């Protein structure tokens, strides 16, 4: 049953308590047939806003450990992708990477993020969508960070194989399988994402990415081959690669501090470079 609930043996860090401690605000935005759920921290300012896209079957809360080290005055927006978390799930809709990128564009316009270029971050499926978005809407993206993004090395799977996907995501699985949590999940979404139409989307569009790009990958990633980092770096002119030792696919869970520090350093470097250009 494609609309069934699937039990993932995975602990999602953070939640209401952590959001409160960080001072982030949960909001809703209605656009056409979609109601987007997201949270924000800080307010738009002179520096680019930061839009963060989570991985498959996860939600915006996966970024809580990451944004903990970001300055409170940086405007952060973490959104539940369509089909995930508190954002609308429509079985009849396509969930390919291009379709998701277009829906994120819909969100960006309604949230007013398109008023000036923003910094776009995405992990896994979110990285794939972020890369495609940067290629389709280059004027909106000042810089880009991709954490082990899905790509052409993403193989189409059957519904029976989907649960196995999560069990190989971590270098050292630490979840408690006796206390699983339920995550709303549409099997069709994964099948759409891994279809031949979708899984080549980032590869086919990577040469169109013009924004300065940071690529972070766990060396022990068993989901997507880490050689993808070199393929992306070769195709994207202004890019840099960071490898994380003894780290699997879920970078923000296994290396929350290290990955957060890398993301923040890159963001600051791009902001500083933009300021220097203005002065010059």
Query: Stretch 241-252: mean pLDDT, rounded?
Result: 92
Our CA angle for 39, 98, 144, nearest 5°, is: 55
Residue 174 has pLDDT above 60, yes or no: no
Residue 234 or 191, more confident: 234
Dihedral over alpha carbons 252, 258, 263, 268 (to 10 degrees): 150
Give the model's pLDDT for residue 50: 98
Q: What mean pLDDT comes out for the span 247-255? A: 90
Query: Cα–Cα distance between 143 and 126 in angstroms, integer?
Result: 15
Percent of the chain with pLDDT over 70: 75
DSSP class per residue in 174-242: ---TTS-EEE---HHHHHHHTSHHHHTHHHHHGGG--S-EEEEEETT-SSS-TTHHHHHHHHSSSEEEE
What is the mean predicted confidence (pLDDT) over 119-147? 97
Exposure string of 202-230, with b = 16+ CB inside 10 Å and e = fewer, is: bbebbeebebbbbbbbbebbebbebebbe
Mean pLDDT, rounded, for 253-272? 94
105 labelled catalytic: no
> Which of 70-74, 76-80, 177-181, 265-269 shows the lowest mean pLDDT across its residues?
177-181
Output the pLDDT for position 214: 98
What pLDDT score does 137 carry? 97
So what's the architecture of 9-277 in CATH? 3-Layer(aba) Sandwich (3.40)
Examine the residue annotation and report whether 249 is marked as an active-site residue of this protein.
yes
- Residue with the larger pLDDT of the pair 190 and 259: 259
Tell me the pLDDT of the chain averaged across its residues.
Answer: 81
- C-alpha 129: how far from chain center: 7
The pLDDT tens digits of the residues spanning 84-104 come to 888 887 776 777 889 999 999
**Which member of 49, 57, 94, 124 is catalytic?**
124
Q: Name the helix (H) or strand (E) containing 31.
A: strand 25-31
Contact 205, 131 (CB under 8 A): yes
Whether the per-residue pLDDT at 144 is higher than 80: the answer is yes
Residue 221 is among the residues annotated as catalytic for this protein: yes
56-70, 157-171, 206-220: lowest mean pLDDT where?
157-171
How many percent of the chain have pLDDT more than 90? 52
Q: Reply yes or no on whether the pLDDT at 187 is more than 50.
A: yes
pLDDT tens-place string over residues 195-246: 667 678 899 999 999 999 999 999 998 888 888 999 999 999 999 999 999 9
For residue 277, how many C-alpha atoms fall within 13 Å in the half-sphere facing its CB?
6
C-alpha to C-alpha distance for 252 and 122, rounded to whole angstroms: 11
Please report the pLDDT score of residue 15 as a whole number: 60
Of the candidates 49, 57, 119, 221, the residue annotated as catalytic is 221
Check: pTM over 0.75? Answer yes or no.
Answer: yes
* Active-site hit among 75, 95, 242, 249: 249
């Amino acid at each position: 049953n494609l609309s069934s609930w699937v039990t993932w043996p995975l602990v999602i860090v953070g939640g209401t308590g952590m959001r409160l401690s960080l001072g982030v605000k949960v909001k809703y935005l209605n656009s056409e047939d979609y109601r987007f759920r997201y949270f924000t921290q800080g307010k738009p300012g002179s520096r680019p806003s930061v839009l963060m896209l989570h991985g498959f079957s996860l939600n915006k809360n996966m970024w809580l450990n990451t944004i903990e080290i970001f300055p409170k005055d940086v405007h952060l927006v973490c959104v539940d992708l369509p089909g995930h978390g508190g954002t609308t799930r429509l079985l009849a809709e396509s969930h390919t990477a291009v379709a998701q990128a277009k829906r994120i564009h819909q969100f960006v316009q309604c949230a007013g993020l398109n008023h000036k270029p923003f910094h776009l971050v995405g992990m896994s499926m979110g990285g794939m969508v972020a890369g495609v978005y940067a290629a389709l809407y280059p004027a909106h993206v000042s810089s880009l960070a991709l954490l082990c993004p899905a790509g052409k090395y993403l193989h189409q799977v059957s519904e029976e194989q989907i649960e196995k996907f999560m069990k190989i995501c971590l270098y050292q699985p630490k979840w408690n399988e006796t206390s699983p949590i339920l995550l709303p999940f549409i099997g069709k979404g994964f099948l759409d994402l891994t279809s031949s139409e979708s899984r080549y989307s980032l590869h086919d569009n990577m040469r169109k990415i013009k924004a300065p790009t940071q690529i972070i990958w766990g060396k022990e990633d068993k989901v997507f081959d880490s050689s993808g980092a070199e393929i992306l770096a070769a195709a994207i002119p202004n890019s840099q690669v960071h490898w994380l030792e003894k780290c699997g696919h879920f970078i923000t869970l296994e290396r929350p501090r290290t990955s957060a520090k890398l993301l923040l350093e890159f963001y600051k470097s791009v902001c500083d470079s933009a300021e220097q250009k203005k002065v010059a």
